[in-house]
Amino acid sequence: MNDRQRFVATMHYQPRDRSPIWDFGFWEDTLPVWYSQGLPDYVTRETSDAYFGMDYGLEFGAGKVGVEAGLWPKFPYEVIEDLGEEELLMQEDGVIVINTKVLGSIPQPQRHSLTDRASWRKLFKPRLDPDYPTRLPPDYPARLAEWRDPARDYPLVLPGGSLYGWLRNWMGMEQLAYVVYDDPAWFGEMVETVADCIVGTLTRLLATGVTFEACGMWEDMAYNAGPLLSPKHFKQYLVPQYRRITDLLRSHGVDVIWVDCDGNIEKLVPLWLEAGVNCMFPLEVGTWGADPIAYRRQYGKDLLIMGGFDKHLLAGSKEGIRAQVLRLTPLVEEGGYIGFCDHRVPPDVPFAHYLYYLDLVRTHWGKGINLKPAAWHLSPQERTR
């Protein structure tokens, strides 16, 4: 089977040769730390999948589509002021942040361009026109021909956008939280406008008749204690707009629709399922103890899952890594689940531990596949454990 066929079979509980071998990439600082531990310095975040022998995954399939479903054109990315070890810059979403140049961390917002109805109408709503010509990449005709190729061996992932997470980024979490209560009509308008842009963009793509294997959405609307938006408001404002998107997708045969949301999503999973979003990614384990096995037990095969391997275990003992790989193996074999790290691999994970993890994954989830001999310096005993 090729990667496209394997992905489709896995997400539909159909027979396949093995599970896809994927990961969710690395923090900016991880590979530089690993260079001192044996990783060749020519390996970058862009080439790491090939080096480690991963199958074509989510980011590859989304990159092959390369269509913008959100703000377009973007705000100009520019450095406003050099502050030595830090810099004040404007991001492409209109947020002005303090960014650390060394030992990268999450940029700290200083000001937001979306502050009120006037800035919404002037700066943001015009950038949510789904028919804006350059939403499609310059090489769109060539891409379209490649997508239609019956021999295409990778899954194509449509851009499903974000109904809450984008607004939270553009406005700031605190300000958006007030808007939900102080001006709910405006909140509803913004959510619907974003959905209009996503639906319009997807309609253009789906009208081509291309077979797309999945659609990926992003929210990051939860923290360790639960969602940033109440389930009541989620159901009132977001579910109807999600349903517009998912109904459109399913009418064109796209029935694998995931949402990328960090944090404790326990209270949101039933609402996402109600809204037609049927896959959770990367199912962050966290201090709240999310568990893909428990989720399968609770929701059955209606819920597809990706991720769910606790990244903190990779920084622990090899025994702990091995125990978790073996624990998740029955779920991998059942299907509807693709196991990998529950977020990007952090720099406190030793390079040798990551190689050990990959070797176990290839053995137990990949039926012994060796796409790339990553575990060069492991002992024969470790390779077969």
Residue pLDDT, tens place only, 99-112: 887 665 678 999 99
Structural domain contains residue 170: yes
Structural domain contains residue 373: yes
Nearest to 45 by CA among 66, 25, 24, 23: 25
Structural domain contains residue 59: yes
Residue 157's identity, in one-letter code, is: V
Both tokens of 180, joined, read 């939900």
pTM of the predicted structure, to 2 decimals: 0.93
Identify the pLDDT of residue 133.
86
Which residues are within 8 A (CB) of 61 and not within 5 positions of it... i.e. 6 or more apart?
154, 155, 156, 157, 213, 214
- Per-10-residue mean pLDDT of the chain, 385 residues long, equals 96 97 92 95 88 88 95 95 91 94 78 97 98 94 96 97 98 97 98 98 97 97 97 98 98 98 97 98 96 98 98 96 98 98 95 95 90 47 43
Structural domain contains residue 274: yes
Residue with tokens 């939280």: 177
* Partner residues linked to 345 by β-bridges: 26
Identify the pLDDT of residue 371.
67
Structural domain contains residue 104: no
CA 52 to chain centre: 20
Residue with tokens 């999948």: 49
Q: Look up residue 15 and give its DSSP letter.
A: -
CATH number at residue 238: 3.20.20.210
CA distances from 328 to 297, 325, 332 (A): 13, 5, 6
Q: What is the total count of domains within the chain?
A: 1
Q: Look up residue 350 and give its DSSP letter.
A: -
Q: Pairing mode, if any, of strands 96-100 and 86-90?
A: antiparallel
Identify the pLDDT of residue 57.
86
User: For residues 39 and 353, is the Cβ–Cβ distance under 8 A?
Assistant: no
Structural domain contains residue 65: yes
Cis peptide before 155 (omega within 30 of 0): no
**CA atoms lying within 13 Å on the CB side of residue 54:** 21
Distance CA 46, CA 48 (A): 6
Residue 241's identity, in one-letter code, is: Q
Q: CA dihedral in degrees (114, 115, 116, 120; nearest 10)?
A: -10
Structural domain contains residue 149: yes
Identify the pLDDT of residue 378.
39
Identify the pLDDT of residue 107.
86
Distance CA 311, CA 309 (A): 6
Residue pLDDT, tens place only, 245-273: 999 999 999 999 999 999 999 999 999 99
Distance CA 262, CA 287 (A): 12
Nearest to 48 by CA among 26, 74, 19: 26
DSSP 205-257: HHTT-----EEEEE---EETTEESS-HHHIIIIIHHHHHHHHHHHHHTT---E
Distance CA 264, CA 252 (A): 31
Supply the range of the domain harboring residue 226.
3-72+131-384
Strands (E) located in 41-196: 78-83, 86-90, 96-100, 108-111, 157-161
Identify the pLDDT of residue 380.
44
Structural domain contains residue 117: no
Q: Pairing mode, if any, of strands 222-223 and 226-227?
A: antiparallel
